[in-house]
């Protein structure tokens, strides 16, 4: 059986705020240990992942949408 790392990622300030990798502010993720080891540690891995996703158009659009007032929300 292949080995995997279990990461639990949660935004804490503000609590459960959307993140570039999860709209709910929480993510449970299984990944290969090698991927985490390449960055040196779980925190470094997650920060690199967040930075990569935050630079994408989808996150920029989601941020814009959250900042606009909604007539229906």
pLDDT reported for residue 50: 96
In angstroms, rounded to a whole number, what is the distance separating the alpha carbons of residues 43 and 64?
A: 27
Whole-number Å distance between alpha carbons of 33 and 41: 10
For residue 64, name the pLDDT band (cuts at 50, 70, 90): confident
Report CA Rg, the chain: 15
Say whether the peptide bond before residue 14 is cis (omega within 30 degrees of 0).
yes
Q: What is the largest CA-CA distance in the chain?
A: 51
Q: Where are the domains of the chain?
A: 5-67
Taking only the tens place, the pLDDT of each residue in 1-56 is 578 999 999 999 999 999 999 999 999 999 999 999 999 999 999 999 999 999 99
Q: Between 2 and 62, name the one with better pLDDT.
A: 62
The band of 69, judged by pLDDT with boundaries at 50, 70 and 90, is: low
């Amino acid at each position: 059986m292949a080995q995997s790392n279990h990461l639990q990622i949660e935004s804490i300030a503000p609590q459960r705020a959307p993140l570039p990798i999860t709209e709910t502010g929480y993510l449970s993720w299984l990944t290969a240990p090698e991927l985490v080891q390449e960055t040196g540690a779980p925190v470094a891995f997650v920060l690199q992942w967040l930075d990569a996703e935050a630079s994408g158009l989808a996150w920029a659009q989601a941020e814009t949408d959250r900042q606009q007032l909604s007539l229906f929300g």
